[in-house]
Structure 1
């Protein structure tokens, strides 16, 4: 969203589709429109940020807040500045903002929901997934830690291929690439159809991306934000595949 208003670099269209699909199936999206995260503009510039994660607002604005709004006009701005100067508080938000709603992440209404979503059955997951899948997930996480998006994508594609082979239980495909048996995998997978398409998109992206698949002298055109989206999506996909087999 911040990328859409040109405040930061936008994630790619493909990764946005992957992320949208992930959140749509997570059950975590707001039911009431008033709870949606939003950005309002004034005179063509972003002015109000509503229902934001406080971790995000701190990362980009320096304040833990769920709501921030700019001054409506110069009169209000001058008034706010005078108050800030008179009180002389360190890092006073009134130098830039007309109003903010302070919010620690533990006070965020979505925190407990997301925490529960992320922690469901984590202790059992390592036992459900193949050892090679678990090892590759660790490798993918390490790539994120060292800011290696291409490496994370490479590991992500290997995770999907290894998971597919483990799910299908066929010796005939063990030495084949996922691309060669993707249609058969889609038939046998328990994933929703939209997510199956995401699997193929991630795998195909690996094949095209320099430093991720085949050798290339070109520079990769993905960033760490893209890699984070892909990594989260892959873990989501893997968990669905393995947990659905236990039902």
Structure 2
């Protein structure tokens, strides 16, 4: 196992654009004037991508051997590269109105063909942290990278606990996290998020990043979203 320190990241404040109006029942009210952008509420740190090389994990022989075996498969089309991707999401404290109901960070992972050859497989979120956080479980300290480049789970939630941060769609090309307001946990402060991406080695891989939020006004949820103009390039050494 190797400790991964997640550093503080330069942040950009996001202007989230109104997406739609909807009620919890699914009823869509008549279209109203577009709501103003949601500003000053959510900032994104990063994203930052670091290739996971044999040198990076060389202190742990098992991890080094795994990285080398994935990179040097007999069938080159199946060779894989790994990337450590780090984000932070900072949200305005609960004194701001309207209050945030949910905040989402969503990625779309893609691989460009190399020459005329298609990618053998699509990049996926190989492992994500935190996986789940509840009132009884808080994130803290470094992330721990264990066997087969998976994060060692330190965030197990007791059955029935209210989850306020959850990773979604691990092992898929459309992963993300959701931060939720609960009766015991509001949304505010900085949340540090990380994933290991497994990607085909002989391609250029990218991660498109979107941030969404909902605010509740009475019984109406208003949805907002912003997309980073440029995808994150996942470069291999």
With the shorter chain as reference, the TM-score category is under 0.3
Structure with bigger helix share is: 1
Instruction: Report the structure number with the largest CA radius of gyration.
Output: 1
Structure with bigger strand share is: 2
Query: TM-score if structure 2 supplies the norm length?
Result: 0.23
Higher-RCO chain (CA-CA 8 Å, sequence separation at least 6):
2
